[in-house]
Structure 1
Amino acid sequence: MTPFQRKLLIFTVILAAIMELIDISIVNVALYHMSGNLGATLEDTSWVITAYAIANVIIIPITSFLSANLGRRNYYIGSVILFTFCSFMCGHSSSIWMLVFFRFLQGIGGGALLSISQVVVFELFPKEKQSTAGALFGAGIFIGPTIGPTLGGYITENYDWPWIFLINIPIGILVAISCYFLLREPPVKPEKAKVDWTGIALLAIGIGSLQTVLERGEVEDWFETRYIIVLTVIAISTLCFFIYWELKVDKPVVNLRVLKSKSLIIAAILTFVTGFGMFISIYLSPVVVQRLLNFSPFQTGLLLLPGALMALLALKICGTLLQKGVSPVLIIALGFVLFIYFNWRMSGITLNTSAAEVSTALIFRALGLALLTVPLTMLAVSSLKDKDVGQGAALNNMMRQLGGSFGVSIINTYIAHRFADHRNVLISNVTPDNVKAMDRINAYINYFQHKGFAYNEAKIKALKLMENVIIRQSSLLSYRDAFVIVGLFFVITLPLLLFVMNKSNKVKPGIIISDH
């Protein structure tokens, strides 16, 4: 390949990965518009998010298997075409369940766009510049989920929700054409294996059930709903049998034997926590600033912009440090510390917090995540044989997605409970004996009387306004608690790095090269 062709292919596959990651979160801000336009309940419309997440988590761990048996070039281009076609169908869906169906297939197509894109980028860089490759790809991993909600909000406000999906079409066509002419099979073709249909079926049923429980549990009041109970039982039993089956067969669809590597296990746990924090923070931060600080989606996007720019610089610095032999463990530790600091700052947010304060906190979030992306991948595959690196990387990517799913599910439930607790405490203080509370209510009554309302009407409005104040304060306190709990997850898991401190010093950047 010429240098220009190599750069073009690198740009192409990173663009594809960003497109896939953006689609994870781009629909979040458009659910109300979809619900009204398609005549569906908000609960039914939320399956648009759930279906994509389920498909993504199912397909990511088996990309290595599918790539080996179908041919990497064929599988990748086919996935791009499937993703693009389903994006078109999503934008032209006439019912909610038609949209959910094609959204699921879009997630199936999107699975390859992340894992295989990563491998192609590393292959196109010489071994001595693997850290630079990691920084480039890490930028895509970071940018995608960050700009998704902002982009979705801008499109929904200025155009219409179908364009959230339709903008993928020209990008998908260009990616498919570029890959048709430029993408090649890996230098060493992986060995084809007999199709492990039992493993595929068990994984799809188990992960699909688990993901559904995580995505829908809080909405359905968890185990108060029969189908959540049934799916939980199915998920546990199926995944247990899946583990037994994959360890038993000679050619498993997911080679769980790679988990004998201590480095991979610890990296997977840390990646899970990173996904947990990344998806929660990108979910909570826009909610807090829009609902409580009254920022528009566009203003929210501007708050995220400085952090995104700083993260790109941090990714470059991270790549340089790794290339010079700095231990990935030290960089991961710094990334965790920065993310803990971000959560500590956000746990002190008030209704008077300025945009500059929020933006500064988000810079620390961005820097922390930027320092975690590449080193965690390197740590995950550092002790694996070359033939197992693709499988290890795929498992690690799956853990990030699962961490995000667990995180958003857990934090929604936690916020709901903390909101109820805070509301009860605040209401219990609104009594005739509380002089400050009574003074505020009387001030509201006087305000409405000056507006021309009779005393009884003014009192009713004053009490409603007081209730709104309590709801707002309860929401603020519950969100602050959520940031505290996320920070604690990072604090608790940080000491795991001590178990790989010595081994990580032997990590060579070039070991990330692998084929699927």
Structure 2
Amino acid sequence: MSSANPSVQRPLTGNMLWLAALVLAAANFMVVLDTTIANVSVPNIAGGLAVSSSQGTYVITSYAVAEAIIVPLTGWLAARFGTVRLFVGSMLLFGLFSMLCGLAGSLETLVLFRVLQGLAGGPLMPMSQTLLLQIFPKQKAGAAIGLWSMTTLVAPIMGPILGGTLCDQASWPWIFYINVPIALGCGLLGWNLLKRYQSQTAKLRIDVAGLALLMLWVASLQLMLDKGKELDWFGSPFIVGLAIAAVVGFAAFLIWELTEAQPIVDLRVFRHRGFWASVLTISLAFGSFFGATVLTPQWLQGYMGYTATQAGYATAMSGVLAVMVAPIAAKLSTRLDPRKLVFCGVMWLGCVTLYRSFSSTDMGFWQVALPLLFQGLGMPFFFVPLTGLALSSVEPAEVASAAGLMSFMRTLSGAFATSLVTTAWDDKANYNHAELAGMVDSGGDALRALSGGGLSDGAAWGTIEHALQTQSIMLSTNQIFWLAGLSFIVAACAIWLAPKPGRVADTSQAH
């Protein structure tokens, strides 16, 4: 057993308190940042490693899936090794795997190290929140949650900007190298400042079978979604095998977890209608949001002539108003029916995304960025009250399990949506190209005009083909935005499946 018990430790005060708070906030900021910093970097990574952009998105999905899988294990890891040891160990491992990501010379090794980076980073979000609440006096708990929430909101804004700038000014490995000094500094400072808060440890049994089944079906399904297009979907025995493994693994996982006394994922919380309705809403809405967010910089860099930095600034616009409106959303969520706030927030996201489905190739920067800026108004009214609604729907003893499960589903939906969006984007572009090809210059007028302007037949055909490809991608992008907008609207309606909450939940365990 560890000798220190946080329950008898006094909260920190003065400069020590704010230094420790800065360390914990920086840790949370870094992990959340890494979920978006690679979004604008995918074209650079794909070019540097000589793979397609759709394969480059494996860098995003591998990290998200690994992070999702480890979240349900956080409670067991904290009990086994202690909260402070887990936090510091995760920080140092995150820094190590970040460095290895930057050194990777092939897509396979980069994806491997991104998986390990995700596994190391997963516990840092809940642990940073838990330790913040321990080091702050009870009367300042609101300040602790506010600080943690602000880093969670600001990091996704900074990710695309920082990723784009580093790719343009240095090279893509620097989006990973930048984590190394932060992780090392936070790890060492964190141990010195927080070791007195080390929790008691115990040798608890772990649901090994449940963990193995969880990894089996999640990994099989994600790999199927990532590799399906490349291997011609169910024309490939490998994809068929992955599909069978995912279905059988998921069925076995459900049966095992519902009958296990100490399950790794407590699926029994789904018996609460308010909880499953909230999880359904957040899965649909976050998948739509994250899929569109991953697609935007690829479209801007690949077909609109944007640099990584310019694409980063445009993408980051969605978080600017979100940060400003978040305190208002938090206040209103304690006074109004949260279902109304969630419905309005998600419906707003849907309407803006539907508006974006009328984009064109001659749009300027602000025509791209302004809809994203105003989209941010809806984000806090989606995340903040939805978390409270979900956790108020379960028993007090189930809040920690419910929060972990909600985080798992949110992260997983983002990974799945990324694969589905990039695959559908390519497929629809190919279909649009084939449709447009039969309609373009059937009389040969454009070819003759270009040839008359001094271009050779080959150069003239190349010009026509470039215009054809650009329009095909634009149509495909709009079609994806249209589908994402409809998904938002379905998610907004799904929240009414939840009953009106009867109590206010303690959301301090949400992550």
Q: Give the TM-score of the pair, scaled to structure 2.
A: 0.88
Q: Which structure 2 residues correspond to residues 197-276 of structure 1 after superposition, within 5 A?
A: 197-276=208-287
* CA offsets 1:164-184 (integer angstroms, 9 cap, x no match): 211111111222133324447
* CA offsets 1:325-379 (integer angstroms, 9 cap, x no match): 2332222122112201221221111122222222210012222223222222212
Matched with 2:426 is 416
* CA offsets 1:415-443 (integer angstroms, 9 cap, x no match): 2332233223222223545xxxx443333
Query: Structure 1 residues 211 and 144 mapped into 2: Cα distance closer, same or farther (>3 Å)?
Result: farther
Most deviating of 128-137 and 196-205? 128-137
Q: Does 1:296 align with 2:307?
A: yes
Q: 1:513 aligns with which of 495, 502, 508?
A: 508
Whole-angstrom distance in 2 between the partners of 1:39 and 1:473: 25
Whole-angstrom distance in 2 between the partners of 1:264 and 1:192: 31
Matched with 1:58 is 69
Query: Structure 1 residues 37 and 472 mapped into 2: Cα distance closer, same or farther (>3 Å)?
Result: closer
Query: Structure 1 residues 304 and 406 mapped into 2: Cα distance closer, same or farther (>3 Å)?
Result: closer
Q: State the AA in 1 paired with 2:70.
A: I
Q: Give yes or no for contact 1:13–1:121 (8 Å, CA) kept in 2.
A: yes
Aligned positions, number: 500
Q: State the AA in 2 paired with 1:79.
A: S
Matched with 1:322 is 333
Matched with 1:337 is 347
Q: State the AA in 2 paired with 1:283.
A: V
Query: Structure 1 residues 130 and 417 mapped into 2: Cα distance closer, same or farther (>3 Å)?
Result: farther
Whole-angstrom distance in 2 between the partners of 1:321 and 1:180: 38
Q: Give yes or no for contact 1:131–1:322 (8 Å, CA) kept in 2.
A: no
Cα deviation, residue 94, structure 1? 5.2
Whole-angstrom distance in 1 between the partners of 2:247 and 2:281: 23
Cα deviation, residue 469, structure 1? 0.9
Whole-angstrom distance in 2 between the partners of 1:171 and 1:377: 29
Unmatched segments (≥5 aa) in structure 1: none
* CA offsets 1:59-110 (integer angstroms, 9 cap, x no match): 1222223223332222222111111121223333455544433322211101
* CA offsets 1:115-145 (integer angstroms, 9 cap, x no match): 3334445666788887776554444334434
Q: Give yes or no for contact 2:213–2:253 (8 Å, CA) kept in 1.
A: yes
Q: Which structure 2 residues correspond to residues 107-506 of structure 1 after superposition, within 5 A?
A: 107-121=118-132, 136-183=147-194, 193-323=204-334, 325-430=335-440, 432=442, 438-447=444-453, 449=454, 453=455, 458-503=456-501, 506=502
Query: Structure 1 residues 267 and 9 mapped into 2: Cα distance closer, same or farther (>3 Å)?
Result: farther
Tell me the SS of whatever aligns to 1:233. helix
Q: State the AA in 2 paired with 1:464.
A: G
Most deviating of 37-46 and 268-277? 37-46
Most deviating of 410-419 and 275-284? 410-419
Matched with 2:5 is none
Tell me the SS of whatever aligns to 2:263. coil
Q: Give yes or no for contact 1:275–1:399 (8 Å, CA) kept in 2.
A: no
Whole-angstrom distance in 1 between the partners of 2:467 and 2:104: 40
Whole-angstrom distance in 2 between the partners of 1:334 and 1:40: 41
Unmatched segments (≥5 aa) in structure 2: 1-11
Query: Structure 1 residues 15 and 224 mapped into 2: Cα distance closer, same or farther (>3 Å)?
Result: farther
* CA offsets 1:33-78 (integer angstroms, 9 cap, x no match): 5566667787876654443233222112222232233322222221
Q: State the AA in 1 paired with 2:62.
A: A
Cα deviation, residue 387, structure 1? 3.0
Cα deviation, residue 397, structure 1? 0.9
Query: Structure 1 residues 330 and 507 mapped into 2: Cα distance closer, same or farther (>3 Å)?
Result: farther
Cα deviation, residue 12, structure 1? 2.8
Q: Give yes or no for contact 2:84–2:198 (8 Å, CA) kept in 1.
A: no
Query: Structure 1 residues 304 and 423 mapped into 2: Cα distance closer, same or farther (>3 Å)?
Result: closer
Cα deviation, residue 286, structure 1? 1.7
Cα deviation, residue 319, structure 1? 2.0
Whole-angstrom distance in 1 between the partners of 2:469 and 2:284: 30
Tell me the SS of whatever aligns to 2:226. helix
Whole-angstrom distance in 2 between the partners of 1:358 and 1:421: 25
Cα deviation, residue 255, structure 1? 1.5
Query: Structure 1 residues 477 and 31 mapped into 2: Cα distance closer, same or farther (>3 Å)?
Result: closer
Q: State the AA in 1 paired with 2:348.
A: L
Query: Structure 1 residues 308 and 500 mapped into 2: Cα distance closer, same or farther (>3 Å)?
Result: same
Whole-angstrom distance in 2 between the partners of 1:115 and 1:29: 26
Query: Structure 1 residues 92 and 303 mapped into 2: Cα distance closer, same or farther (>3 Å)?
Result: closer
Tell me the SS of whatever aligns to 2:398. helix
Most deviating of 309-318 and 438-447? 438-447
Whole-angstrom distance in 2 between the partners of 1:74 and 1:26: 27
Most deviating of 183-192 and 149-158? 183-192
Whole-angstrom distance in 2 between the partners of 1:187 and 1:255: 26
Tell me the SS of whatever aligns to 2:498. helix
Q: Give yes or no for contact 1:65–1:254 (8 Å, CA) kept in 2.
A: no
Whole-angstrom distance in 2 between the partners of 1:418 and 1:41: 17
Matched with 2:3 is none
Q: Give yes or no for contact 1:423–1:471 (8 Å, CA) kept in 2.
A: yes
Q: Which structure 2 residues correspond to residues 26-37 of structure 1 after superposition, within 5 A?
A: 26-30=37-41, 34=45
Query: Structure 1 residues 219 and 134 mapped into 2: Cα distance closer, same or farther (>3 Å)?
Result: farther
Most deviating of 395-404 and 220-229? 220-229
Q: Percent identity?
A: 28
Query: Structure 1 residues 334 and 133 mapped into 2: Cα distance closer, same or farther (>3 Å)?
Result: farther
Tell me the SS of whatever aligns to 1:367. coil
Whole-angstrom distance in 1 between the partners of 2:171 and 2:49: 13
Cα deviation, residue 243, structure 1? 1.6
Cα deviation, residue 285, structure 1? 1.9
Q: Give yes or no for contact 1:210–1:231 (8 Å, CA) kept in 2.
A: yes
Whole-angstrom distance in 2 between the partners of 1:158 and 1:411: 29
Cα deviation, residue 483, structure 1? 0.6
Q: State the AA in 2 paired with 1:257.
A: R
